[in-house]
Amino acid sequence: MRSERISRIIVFIIAALIAVLFLFPFYICIVTAFKTPMETAQGVLALPSKLHWENFSKALEITNFSRSFLNSLITTTTSVVFIVICSSMCGYIIARNLKKFRYRLCETILLGAMMVPFQVIMIPVYKMLKLSNMMNTLPGLIILLVGTSIPYSTFLYIGFVKLVPRELEEAATIDGSGIYRTYWNIVFPLLKPITATVATLHVMWMWNEFNISLIVLQKEHVKTIPIQQFYFFGEYTTDLNLAFASACIAIIPILIFFIIAQKFLINGLMSGAVKG
Amino acid sequence: MNRRKNIKRSLLKFGFLVPAIFFFGVSMLIPFLLGIQVSFTSWDGISQKMNYIGLQNYSNIFSNSDILQPIRNTTYFAILITVFNNAFALGLALILNKKFAGNSKFRLIYFIPTCLSTVLACFVWKFLYREVFFQLFGINSLIGSMKTVIPGLVIISLWNGVAINMLIYLSALINVPKNLYDAAKVDGANVFQRFKNVTVPLIGPAFTTCVTLSLTYGLREFSVPMIATGGGPARSSETIAMYIYKHLFEYSKAGYGQAISIVFMVFLLIIGKTVSTIFRKREVEM
């Protein structure tokens, strides 16, 4: 029993050391955000002598933070709502009709689409957006984000629906409820666990999305936070303290969300990934 | 009468697919088909009309030595990320699978870097490489030199993404029946033998998922090198995905870029399929 306790202590120490390594960049990020360039040059590890809050107010102003925050918020919420509606309906009907050839075909197409790298559709998407005047618009971006997310999220729904018993739906149908009413009143509430996972995962992914946004959003007024920061960090490398202040501000919303929703995210990833 | 009812029912059912088909069609299916068409043209990415040049783009790929550098970089990156991501993810999962105080807190901490955007992760690490590591250890930035830039990018990518594979391995480890370990212990197997003969075979499905995923993600890598180095120094971190991007926005050779992307996709599908088949064969039933 004693060796058991020693091994536990050793594992704890290793785990703590790794945790320090994982968190070290955050420490640097926070202390630098509060320093002046002078202090940073003197020592990167040291704590700031005085908290320079003005870095934050300046960073908010220069990066036009409220605009890009609003863009990110609109894009993320709208696309996640559409992803959940579309892929839950699609996943449900595919999972319930897998015996039929055309629904199995749908499943196969979605599986194949999961393997297609974004670069294959990048150039044609750019062409389509230009032709349809959807370039530099949030609806254009949202349609693309939803469309490219559907294969994976539908796949997660199909796996979950297979495990949901059919009795309740059948009872509702016998009572004369139509197929859509049955779905929204009976089935959709039953899918809550997987909906929580899909929504949480996609809030994180859509909030941080870079590849598609970089192509669609090239004008100031539509830029989301990651795109805004990509250009900001490219231009303002001279004032690192400002850049770090802006990085800290950008981390806060997603970190708060993560701490609230981590249960769904971690459980969903742990149960869905291997089976799916 | 019955027949009409059946048709109505099928149509109603089909209605469930309509929203998904709309979004998926507009953003993946149509662009995919359009892309095949673009790859046969000399489109520059700007002009209104496109000239068909047949298979010339495809034959150019094989005569153009310019593409060798991105292929080398991408392969190197993908191999490093596959090996280290899976080694670290499994290591972390093994630690978290032990019972000790604060176990779930550590799981949370390891996951925090994953919720950051790649832009922020790259920015923070660029600073670490350039200033902090220099002041602490006196070494020059890893991503500033042609020799070390790819390992440098791999470190950023690991910090930003290792936790996902960690969770997949952890969920597989939790499901390994404890009595198998006890049985192996009774038979006199030591820690390493237990790991090799009990753990590894039983978490086979997790290996298949994680190795295939990290390999195909590594081969498609775009954002980390794009943000951290822009492909430099001297193209030493330019990946295939970036190479295609540059053909649209910098070199004005969208048609050629599109042809590369299609060849690239075929390769990816073959590699992904082969790797997952190899790993699947080694899986054992529980």
CB proximity list for B129: less than 8 A, separation 6 or greater: B141, B142, B143, B144, B152
Instruction: Report the SS3 class of residue B52.
Output: strand
pLDDT band at A272 (very low <50, low <70, confident <90, very high): low
**pLDDT reported for residue B166:** 92
d(CA B215, CA B79): 7
Cβ <8 Å between B248 and A262:
no
Q: pLDDT value at position B202?
A: 83
At residue B1, the pLDDT reads: 57
Q: Is B41 helix (H, G, I), strand (E, B) or coil?
A: strand
Whether the predicted pLDDT of A1 surpasses 70: no
Q: Taking 70 as the threshold, does the pLDDT of residue A273 lie above it?
A: no
Nearest residue in B to A42, CA atom:
B135
pLDDT reported for residue B143: 84
Q: How far B147 CA lies from chain A's nearest CA (Å)? A: 23
Architecture of domain B65-285: Orthogonal Bundle (1.10)
Nearest to A25 among B124, B209, B223 (CB): B124
Interface TM-score (ipTM) > 0.85 = yes
Chain A partners of B174 at a C-beta cutoff of 8 Å?
270
Question: How many Å lie between the alpha carbon of A80 and the closest alpha carbon of chain B?
Answer: 13
* Predicted confidence (pLDDT) per residue in A47-77, tens digit: 888 788 888 888 888 888 889 999 999 999 9
Supply the mean pLDDT for chain A: 87
Question: How far is it, in rounded angstroms, from Cα A88 to Cα B17?
Answer: 10
Give the range among A259-268, B144-153, B207-216 with minimum mean pLDDT: A259-268
Within 8 A of A147 by CB-CB distance, chain B residues are: 23-28
Confidence of residue B93 (pLDDT cuts 50, 70, 90): very high
Contacts of B124 in chain A (CB under 8 A): 25, 28-29, 247
Q: Can you give the pLDDT at residue B31? A: 92
What's the pLDDT band for A237 if we cut at 50, 70, 90?
Answer: low
pLDDT at A274: 47
Average pLDDT over residues A139-158: 93
A121, A233, A273 member nearest B171 (Cβ): A273
Contacts of B219 (CB under 8 A, 6+ apart): B74, B75, B78, B240, B268, B271
**Range B126-144 average pLDDT:** 83
Q: How confident is the model at residue A89 (pLDDT cuts 50, 70, 90)?
A: very high
Mean per-residue pLDDT for A258-274? 75
Residue A14 pLDDT > 70, yes or no?
A: yes
B164 touches chain A (CB under 8 A): yes
pLDDT value at position A37?
Answer: 80
**B53 pLDDT more than 60:** yes
Mean pLDDT, rounded, for A108-132: 88
Tokens of A237: 């490398």
Using alpha carbons only, how large is chain A's radius of gyration in Å? 24
Chain A residue numbers with beta carbons less than 8 Å from the beta carbon of B159 are 22, 25
- The structural domains of chain B, with segments of one domain joined by +, span 65-285
Instruction: Mutate one of A103, A121, A223, A252 to test the B interface: name it (highest B CB count within 10 A).
Output: A121
User: In this structure, how many other beta carbons lie within 10 angstroms of the beta carbon of residue A127?
Assistant: 21
In the predicted structure, residue B221 carries a pLDDT above the cut 80:
yes
Point out the residue among A18, A127, A154 whose CB comes nearest to the CB of B34: A127
- pTM for the model stands at 0.88
Average pLDDT for A184-188: 90
Residue of B nearest to A145 (CA): B27
B residues 134-153 lying closer than 8 A (beta carbon) to A:
135-136
Give B 96-135 residues with CB within 8 A of chain A: 96, 98-103, 106-113, 115-120, 123-125, 127-128, 131-132, 135
